[in-house]
Structure 1
Amino acid sequence: MSKTILVTGAGRGLGRTLAEQLTARGDKVIAHARSESALDGVPHDRKLVVDLAEPAAIADAVAALGLERLDGVIHNAGIAHIGLIADQPLEHWERTLAINVTAPAELTRVLLPALRAARGHVVFVNSGAGLSAGPKWSSYAASKHALKALADALRGEEQPNGVRVTSVYPSHFATDMQRSVREQYDADYDPSRATSPESIAQTIIGLLDTPEDMVVNELRIEPPNPLPIRARN
């Protein structure tokens, strides 16, 4: 049966791959991006255009969709600033927390009536940094730790309503963000030693298809032979 799935950050990378794979199998995709042009060439049934850096705008944007039922939302959008705490300005912290934490919380809140009606599934694309933080990862890791807390709280709150919640922790997969992180870290990047977006997307879609009598609360994903993120000497 066809499902209706909202994918954030659908303009590129994993989000775009998710939109392509979901559409190819017959699902209806609500594709999110911060601009209309970002969705050029992205297969979708409807679109949600809103800047997640401005969470106050989310409620009105979602209301315009008129959703009564929603089978799933995949919180994929995110940003990463890599640097020493001593060097990261306030703007980096505010923007990272707004996009990576506050926006998913607000978007989930306004979508809950539609998710409850469909006994839907909320998937948070987290990160290995959401479980352990190292030097230069402070703002990004803090946001991902907070995203884990959001998912854990939501899971407990929505169990009586039939809404399932999964946190996915992919590590070292081939996206523009991974390239950007390694550039900021002055580290080497080898896409052949990273998991492909297609594999990650396939796994996430598989989570949406789990039987109704089970839920995968957390899932860690990493390539068999990842290239460590280490600054060049």
Structure 2
Amino acid sequence: MNRTHLVTGAGSGIGAAVADRLQERGDSLCLLARSETRADELSRRHPGATVLVADLADPTAVDGLTGLPDRLDSVLHVAGVVDLAPVADLELAQLREHLDVNLVAPALLSRAALSAVRRARGTFVFVNSSAGLAASPSWSAYAASKFGLRAFADALRGEEIAHGVRVTTVFPSRTATPMQEKVHEQEGRVYDPADWLRADTVAETILHVLDLPADATIPEVTVRPAMPPSRG
């Protein structure tokens, strides 16, 4: 049976990897783009996909989103932003963007998609981060948004179990993506993608969650590299 998935962050990294895999196996995609330019790029990469435009950094735009499918087998919250700074240097706009993109937008999208997911007895997947389990210096804004995202997923899981809706949080460690390259630059470290998880590996974990038999759920899963990085 053809399944339909709403995916954020499909333009690169983990989101692109999972969207590619879903399309390859014949599933239908509804993708969220932050701009018309990105929407055109996603439409070319994923012919036949429904592409909606809403900037996740703008809660009003997300709250007013229309055009979602009537039935969704999953909602995959993959998009995110990270910008490192110690608390002493943290600016309001920087903190606001982390919270809006990483926490508020998934919350609003989940609410908007809830009836469609209930109809399919589907699954919400929140792609979190190891920073959502333990906060490190200079990661305060990002970690705070991801700790909040975990709490939101926990609450949603408890509320929706009676409707047959499953909710999973995925906690990937550092993953070889453009976001990780940016983090290394901010940290002043040499970036070697071979040191970190592949985006395809995390996508495979997400697919495993989506393909579980109906009698099982995975509330949380942590994904880490099998070997330590070659450099600290």
Report TM bin, short chain: over 0.9
Counterpart for residue 157 of structure 2? 155
Distance in 2 of aligned mates of 1:169 and 1:73: 16
Displacement of 1:99 in angstroms is: 0.4
After TM superposition, list the pairs within 5 Å mapping 1:51-200 onto structure 2: 51-61=55-65, 63-65=66-68, 67-200=69-202
Structure 2 counterpart SS, 1:52: coil
Structure 2 counterpart SS, 1:167: strand
Displacement of 1:197 in angstroms is: 0.9
Equivalent residues of 1:11, 1:32 under 8 A apart: no
Distance in 2 of aligned mates of 1:35 and 1:17: 20
In the alignment, residue 53 of structure 1 is paired with which amino acid?
Answer: A
After TM superposition, list the pairs within 5 Å mapping 1:217-232 onto structure 2: 217-227=219-229
Greater shift, 141-150 or 27-36, is seen at 27-36
| Residue 4 (structure 1) aligned with residue 4 (structure 2) | yes
Identify the match of residue 48 of structure 1 among 48, 52, 56.
Answer: 52
Distance in 2 of aligned mates of 1:47 and 1:100: 20
Displacement of 1:188 in angstroms is: 2.5
Displacement of 1:140 in angstroms is: 0.3
RMSD over aligned Cα, in angstroms? Answer: 1.4
**TM-score normalised by L of structure 1:** 0.94
Distance in 1 of aligned mates of 2:45 and 2:54: 16
Equivalent residues of 1:96, 1:140 under 8 A apart: yes
Distance in 1 of aligned mates of 2:192 and 2:32: 29
Equivalent residues of 1:119, 1:163 under 8 A apart: yes
In the alignment, residue 126 of structure 1 is paired with which amino acid?
Answer: N
Displacement of 1:59 in angstroms is: 3.6
Deviations 1:40-67 (A, max 9, x none): 1321520121101112222432x233x2
Equivalent residues of 2:174, 2:197 under 8 A apart: yes
Displacement of 1:229 in angstroms is: 8.4
Q: What is the aligned-residue identity percentage?
A: 46
In the alignment, residue 151 of structure 2 is paired with which amino acid?
Answer: A
Equivalent residues of 1:19, 1:42 under 8 A apart: no
Equivalent residues of 1:182, 1:229 under 8 A apart: no
Displacement of 1:205 in angstroms is: 1.1
Displacement of 1:182 in angstroms is: 1.2
Distance in 2 of aligned mates of 1:229 and 1:10: 29
Cα separation, partners in 2 of 1:36 and 1:17, compared to 1, 3 Å: farther
Displacement of 1:228 in angstroms is: 8.4
Cα separation, partners in 2 of 1:228 and 1:6, compared to 1, 3 Å: farther
Equivalent residues of 2:195, 2:230 under 8 A apart: no
Distance in 2 of aligned mates of 1:31 and 1:17: 13
Structure 1 counterpart SS, 2:105: helix
Distance in 1 of aligned mates of 2:169 and 2:67: 28
Structure 2 counterpart SS, 1:2: coil
Deviations 1:92-142 (A, max 9, x none): 001110000000000000110101111010000000000000111100000
Counterpart for residue 19 of structure 1? 19
| Residue 33 (structure 1) aligned with residue 37 (structure 2) | no
Cα separation, partners in 2 of 1:199 and 1:64, compared to 1, 3 Å: same
Structure 2 counterpart SS, 1:32: strand
Structure 2 counterpart SS, 1:166: strand
